[in-house]
Structure 1
Amino acid sequence: MRILIVEDELHLAEALTQILRKHHYSVDAVHDGRSGLDYAVSGIYDLLLLDIMLPEMDGISVLRAIRKQGISTPVILLTAKGEITDKVNGLDHGADDYIAKPFSTEELMARIRAALRRKHEVFAEDVLNFGDIELNATNLKLMCKGKEMKLNPKESELLELLLLRKQAITSKEQIIEKLWGFDSEVEHNNVEVYISFLRKKLTFLASAVRINTVRGVGYVLEVTV
C-alpha cells in the first residue's frame, strides 16, 4: 500500500512518514498543494493524507481538483482542531474522513485502516481474479486450482498492479513509481527480479496465467490455452 502525505509542516510530515513506514506502508511526502496535486493525479496511491492549510494551493482545492478528474483515491484531511467549516467543506467536496491536529498514532492508524477497508470493499474485499488465479492482497496469498502460495509484500503489490490493469501493458517505469515511488533510485533490474519471482510462483502453481514481456514496452498478463 502506498500513501501520499501532503503536509507543509516538515517535522510533522517526517514524523508521519516514519510512523507509516513502521506500519509497513510505502510513503511519499510533499509540502505544498501544487506538488500534492501533481503526485495525486498519477493514480499510484492507495490513500492521501492531505493538510487543508497549504502553500501554493490549499487542500480543499487539491481535493476538488482530483475528484473533478475522477480520481477516487481515499482522502483523509488533516485539519486544525475545532475548524468545523473546513471539515464540512472537505467532506462536501469528496473527502473520506478527517482527523484534527494534534492526533494520536492509534487514531491515525485506525482511520487509515477504515478508509482502506472501504476502498477495498469495491474490489470484492480485496480479492482480485484473472484466469485461474486469485490474489488476496490483504493476506498476501496467491491461489490457483485449490493450491495457495504466500507472496512477499512487493510481489503482492506487483501482481495486484498487473491484475488491476488486466490485459493492459504496464511499463517498468509505472511499476517503479507504484512500488517504490517517484524519487526512488530503484533500477529496472529490480523490477525484472520481482517479475522473475512471480513467474516462478505461477509456474509452481501450474497456472495458465503468464506474465509476458512486450520488448521495449513492459509487461502484460495473458492466459494460455
Structure 2
Amino acid sequence: MTRILIAEDDLHVASFIQKGLRAAGYATEHAADGETALFLARAAGFDLIILDIGLPLLDGFEVLAQIRGEGVSTPVIVLTARDSVPDTVAGLEGGANDYMTKPFHVAELLARIRLRLTDHVPAATGTVIEHEGLSLDLHSRRARAGEEAVELTAREFAILEVFLRHPDRVISREQLLSQVWGYDFDPGSNVVDVYVRALRKKIGTERIETIRGVGYRLP
C-alpha cells in the first residue's frame, strides 16, 4: 500500500487530509512538527510527503533542504497558507515537486498526489543514470559531464534527469513544466528556456539540442 507522510501542525487540517487520503486507499502517518517530520522522512520509507512550511521546531524549508541534501528523493508536495511568489520559488528551488496553497480541495490534492507518484520512477537497477558522458547520481545528487563534476541547482538537476531518462526523445516545454515544476505556469513564461540555457552553460551547449517550435532533445 502507498504510504504518505503528512507533516502538518494544524491538527484539524491534518485530520482532514488523512480522512481524504485514507478514503482513497492510501496509508498515512502524521508528524506535527519539523523534527518529527525529518526523522520519519529519513527513516520510514514513504512514497510521498505532504509538507507544511510553517512547522514548529523546524520549518518546512529546512526539512526539505535536509532531506534533499541527504539524497532522499521522495516526492514532496509543499502545502502552506503562504502564496507569495518568493515562497513558491523557495519551495520549488529547494526540491519540492509540487506546491499547493490553503484552502484547497481534497480532489485536487489527490490528483496532484497521483501525478507525483506516477512521475516518480525509482532507479531500480542503481542510483546512477547516464548517457554520452553525462551522469547523475540520484542518491548523492551529484552530476558529472565527462570527467568534470558539475554543480547543479535542484531544478537544473531535475531537468537533466528528465533528459537522461529519455535520451534521443524530444521533450516539450510543457512536459518539462509538468515533470519538473509540477504546477501551472503562465503558458507564455520563458522559465524553461532560462533554465535550459543555464544548464547548457554547465554541461556544454552542444549537449542539448533545440527543436524549434517543439522543445529540446538530449542526443
CA distance in 2, matches of 1:67, 1:31: 20
CA distance in 2, matches of 1:52, 1:25: 22
Structure 1 residue aligned with 2:70: 69
Distance, in Å, in 2 between the alignment partners of 1:123 and 1:104 is 34
Counterpart residue number, 1:45:
46
CA RMSD across the alignment? 1.5
Aligned residues: 124
Q: Which amino acid aligns with 1:48?
A: I
Counterpart for residue 85 of structure 1:
86
1:138-172, Cα deviation, whole Å (9 max, x unpaired): xxxxxxxxxxxxxxxxxxxxxxxxxxxxxxxxxxx
- How far, CA to CA, are the matches of 1:103 and 1:66 in structure 2? 26
1:66-215 → structure 2 map (5 Å cutoff): 66-120=67-121
2:56 aligns with: 55
CA distance, structure 1, for counterparts of residue 80 and residue 103 of structure 2: 9
- Give yes or no for the alignment of 1:14 onto 2:15: yes
Match of 1:97, as an amino acid?
A: D
**Greater than 4 Å deviation, 4+ residue runs:** 121-124
CA distance in 1, matches of 2:94, 2:82: 19
Deviation, structure 1 residue 123: 5.6
What SS class does the counterpart of residue 112 from structure 2 fall into? helix
Matches of 2:25 and 2:100 in 1, distance apart? 21
Q: How far 1:92 moved relative to its partner?
A: 0.4
Q: Percent identity?
A: 45
The alpha-carbon distance between structure 1 residues 121 and 44, as it changes in their structure 2 partners (threshold 3 A), is closer
Quote the offset at 1:17 in angstroms: 0.7
In 2, distance between residues paired with 1:107 and 1:123? Answer: 29
Shift of 1:85: 1.3
TM-score, with structure 1 as normaliser: 0.53
Q: Which has the larger radius of gyration?
A: 1
Q: Give the match for residue 169 of structure 1.
A: none
Name the residue aligned to 2:194.
none
Give the secondary-structure state (helix, strand or coil) at the position aligned to 2:43.
Answer: coil
Distance 1:51 1:123 in 2: 29
Residue 82 of structure 1, CA deviation: 2.4
Do 1:7 and 1:13's aligned partners in 2 also have CA atoms closer than 8 Å? Answer: yes
Aligned to 1:23: 24
In the alignment, residue 63 of structure 1 is paired with which amino acid?
L
Output one character per residue of 1:81-106: Cα deviation in whole Å (capped at 9) or x when no partner.
52221111010010000111001111
Alpha-carbon separation, structure 1, partners of 2:108 and 2:70: 30
C-alpha displacement of 1:30: 0.9
Give the secondary-structure state (helix, strand or coil) at the position aligned to 2:120.
helix
Q: State whether residues 81 and 102 of structure 1, in contact with CA within 8 Å, keep that contact through their aligned partners in structure 2.
A: no
The DSSP-based 3-state class of the residue aligned with 1:48 is strand
TM superposition shift of 1:120: 3.0
